[in-house]
Chains A and B, each alone.
Chain A
């Protein structure tokens, strides 16, 4: 049984495929997208628990993917992992509701900790929302999801 699902989005194929293998060895159900567009296609078919997202990519960049993912899939926690981001990029990503903003390189142990924490947050939010939904309080459940989206 895998711990949780992670979608890794990065245009550096050698990097992301190697990281994918390391994630699988750590019992995560990981998947790879090599562009922002591909990430959104995958999200439509199979929603991960956490998305690990590069910032600078050809075509649709990470910030745009983050924006769209937070709107359409608020339950997915997003962790940015970039080698090129500025302080303004970090501020913008946090405003859009990123769970954590990391700069490459990150030791695998630290990355795992952040991914697990993101997954825990996703679990907590969906449990609270589900409790309200079960009690018929759909508006409150929606509010919780909206708050999570705006964070």
Chain B
């Protein structure tokens, strides 16, 4: 736990610095755009090209800022052993931070919560680990171009369900049944068990389900 706190603290500090770097790049790009806007007599033949480049800089700063923000929140995760989390927001965070892996495997995730506010009391690091393990397992077994929907909802017994739905049978490399014997699946089940939750696979419908319960930490 001390090690996790240490990693989180250093990462959080670094993301603050990254945000400052991005703010300087953004304002410098903005200032260049201001000067560019002052040239209206056609004397600068590269005006349009420069404008396009500055627009790309702005887009990338926005992208970097989004990643830094999510990484900063992620780095603060170990600050509490137990906390109340909004599940759809946590899913957004894990999706944002694993974009690169998903892109390299040509897989995309879509967060489709049943309700925008879905509160769960849990161990925040383990919840993120469980989500990541589920996503990683499916990514490894998805075909190129696969889109995986993540649906979250609360049932009548106040249990939170998160379903990872693969788009189609043809999108899969192998039957989900085969996954149940893999070491990764066993690790995922162990993580779920550590927070009193369950994980299940439905091969027919291509759905991985997590059933999560509020933890009593008093």
- List A residues at the B interface (Cβ < 8 Å): 12, 14-15, 18-19, 21-22, 25, 56, 83-84, 104-105, 108
B19 lies within 8 A of A104 (CB): yes
A83 touches which one: B16, B28, B34, B62 (CB < 8 A)?
B16
Which residues of A are found within 8 Å of B24, using beta-carbon distances? 12, 14-15, 18
Tell me if B65 counts as interface (CB < 8 A to partner A): yes
Digitize B38-62: 1 where CB-to-A-CB distance is under 8 Å, 0 elsewhere.
Answer: 0000000000000000000000011
B16 lies within 8 A of A105 (CB): no
Q: Smallest distance from the beta carbon of A32 to chain B beta carbons, Å?
A: 13
**Besides the contacts A14-B28, A15-B27, A108-B30, what 5 more A-B pairs have beta carbons closer than 8 Å?**
A12-B23, A15-B24, A18-B24, A83-B16, A83-B19
Known: A22-B34, A25-B34. A84 touches B27 (CB 8 A): no
Which residues of B are found within 8 Å of A22, using beta-carbon distances? 27, 30-31, 34
Give the interface size class of chain B.
10 to 19
B34 lies within 8 A of A105 (CB): no
Which residues of A are found within 8 Å of B31, using beta-carbon distances? 18, 21-22
Tell me if B94 counts as interface (CB < 8 A to partner A): no
B23 lies within 8 A of A104 (CB): yes
Tell me if B26 counts as interface (CB < 8 A to partner A): yes
Q: What 8 A-B pairs come out closest when comparing CB atoms?
A: A83-B19, A18-B27, A14-B24, A15-B24, A104-B23, A105-B26, A12-B20, A15-B23
- A-side binding surface: helix, strand, loop or mixed? helix
28 sampled A-B residue pairs with Cβ under 8 A? A12-B20, A12-B23, A14-B24, A14-B28, A15-B20, A15-B24, A18-B24, A18-B27, A18-B28, A18-B31, A21-B31, A22-B27, A22-B30, A22-B31, A22-B34, A25-B34, A56-B16, A83-B20, A83-B23, A84-B16, A84-B19, A104-B23, A105-B23, A105-B26, A105-B61, A105-B62, A105-B65, A108-B30
Q: Smallest distance from the beta carbon of A18 to chain B beta carbons, Å?
A: 4
Digitize B1-45: 1 where CB-to-A-CB distance is under 8 Å, 0 elsewhere.
Answer: 000000000000000100110111011101100100000000000
Which residues of A are found within 8 Å of B34, using beta-carbon distances? 22, 25
Which residues of A are found within 8 Å of B22, using beta-carbon distances? 105
Which residues of A are found within 8 Å of B61, using beta-carbon distances? 105
Q: How far is the CA of A19 from the CA of B23 in the complex (A)?
A: 10
Point out which of B16, B27, B28, B31 has the most chain A C-beta atoms below 10 A from its C-beta: B27
Q: Smallest distance from the beta carbon of A8 to chain B beta carbons, Å?
A: 11
Q: How far is the CA of A25 from the CA of B34 in the complex (A)?
A: 8
Q: Smallest distance from the beta carbon of B30 to chain A beta carbons, Å?
A: 6
Digitize B158-201: 1 where CB-to-A-CB distance is under 8 Å, 0 elsewhere.
Answer: 00000000000000000000000000000000000000000000
A19 touches which one: B16, B20, B27, B62 (CB < 8 A)?
B27
Which residues of A are found within 8 Å of B19, using beta-carbon distances? 83-84, 104
Which residues of B are found within 8 Å of A19, using beta-carbon distances? 27
Q: How far is the CA of A56 from the CA of B31 in the complex (A)?
A: 24
Which residues of B are found within 8 Å of A84, using beta-carbon distances? 16, 19
The residue of chain A having its C-beta at the shortest distance from the C-beta of B18 within the complex is A83
Q: How far is the CA of A12 from the CA of B19 in the complex (A)?
A: 11
